[in-house]
Amino acid sequence: MASPAPRILAMGGASVQPSSTDWLLHQYLLDLSGRERPRICFIGTASGDDAAYRAGFYATFARHADASYLALFDIRVDDIAGFLLDQDVIYVGGGNTANMLAIWRLHGVDKALKAAWEAGVVLGGQSAGAMCWFDAGLTDSFGPALAPPKDGLRSLPGSFCPHYDSESLRRPRYEETVGSGALPDGYAADDGVGLLFEGRDLAEVVAALPGQHAYRMERRRGNAVEETQLRARLLR
């Protein structure tokens, strides 16, 4: 059975392809369930249920877990809430955050995920699949310019910015939006980094490779911003 402790692993960026260097991060996510072979469901709404993304997930995870997929563009599940509550881990993929949240709300997935989280199912995801749990984030959902929407699921307080080391515009734009008050204080993460939250509190930062970090971003007087690097435990 899943642990009753509400936990979310928010990853700055990660690949589910078998050749990826991110497997240690994904193994950490599976281990949070406390089961030798956990049940894990992948939700790829943000990518439009992309078939290649789904195939990569199965190729990587089916060897280590009982893997399943929740499709929302070709729905085959009658009871979404019951299906998600029956998982040990739920993994949300990257893509268009705004579109994903709109579709989730249309089908009640937002409420089902909240119920699963409160019941102890481990939630996780990368990029859009990490940003969605927070109050707000920095997304390219509306075009090349990074925008600060504030309609996240609000399971976690504040804002989140993924891909902090791999997309050059992320850091200056996040500093700008937090400094102006357009986004609340929050966290940023490099690719390959996961922030584990227990309840609504940060419990641990982990990294798949050396030199990858997470950051706490806080607004100070005026438009000043303080960026604090958070030490990550290197996974082995």
Q: What is the pLDDT of residues 78-116, one digit of tens each?
A: 999 999 999 999 999 999 999 999 999 999 999 999 999
Give domain status of residue 2, yes or no.
no
Q: What is the pLDDT of residues 168-221, one digit of tens each?
A: 999 999 999 999 999 999 999 999 999 999 999 999 999 999 999 999 999 998
Give domain status of residue 64, yes or no.
yes
pTM of the model: 0.96
- 109 membership: H or E segment, kind and range: helix 109-119
Give domain status of residue 98, yes or no.
yes
Q: How many domains does the chain have?
A: 1
Q: What is the mean pLDDT of residues 45-74?
A: 97
Q: What is the CATH number of the domain that holds 197?
A: 3.40.50.880
Question: 100: domain range?
Answer: 7-234
Give domain status of residue 62, yes or no.
yes
For residue 163, indicate whether it is catalytic: yes
Give domain status of residue 79, yes or no.
yes
Give domain status of residue 195, yes or no.
yes
Give domain status of residue 18, yes or no.
yes
* Cα–Cα distance, 64 to 112 (Å, whole number): 25
Give domain status of residue 194, yes or no.
yes
Q: Which residues contact 175 (CB under 8 A, 6 or more apart)?
A: 217, 225, 227
For residue 127, indicate whether it is catalytic: yes
Among the listed residues 33, 68, 127, 141, the single catalytic one is 127
